[in-house]
Amino acid sequence: MDLYCKRCGEPYDYYHIQHEITATERRRYWDGEGCPSCYGKTVDKTPFRAHVAGALQDLFGDDVDGLAAEMEDAEQMMGSSFWE
């Protein structure tokens, strides 16, 4: 299951975010400051999936499993528009 950056919408494997990035990168990621791809860079347009990820994170809090499962459902429901 994937998680999505709340700034740029970049997809990341759940395991990567929880175990393979540094603690600082992880805090920035969850605080919405950016992922390893976009932190410190200008993001011209925050994609819809990034807004969805942010809203669902507010809803699920520390339940990262629930968040990842819900994002997978959102991707299936929205089809190609998920990636616009």
Question: Residue 75 and residue 30: Cα distance in Å, rounded?
Answer: 20
Q: How far is the CB of 8 from Zn ion (least distance, A)?
A: 3
Q: Which two tokens stand for residue 71?
A: 């994002």
Considering only 3, 5, 52, 68, the residue that binds Zn ion (CB under 5 A) is 5
Q: How far is the CB of 46 from Zn ion (least distance, A)?
A: 9
Considering only 3, 17, 35, 52, the residue that binds Zn ion (CB under 5 A) is 35
Query: For Zn ion, which is the closer residue by CB, 10 or 75?
Result: 10
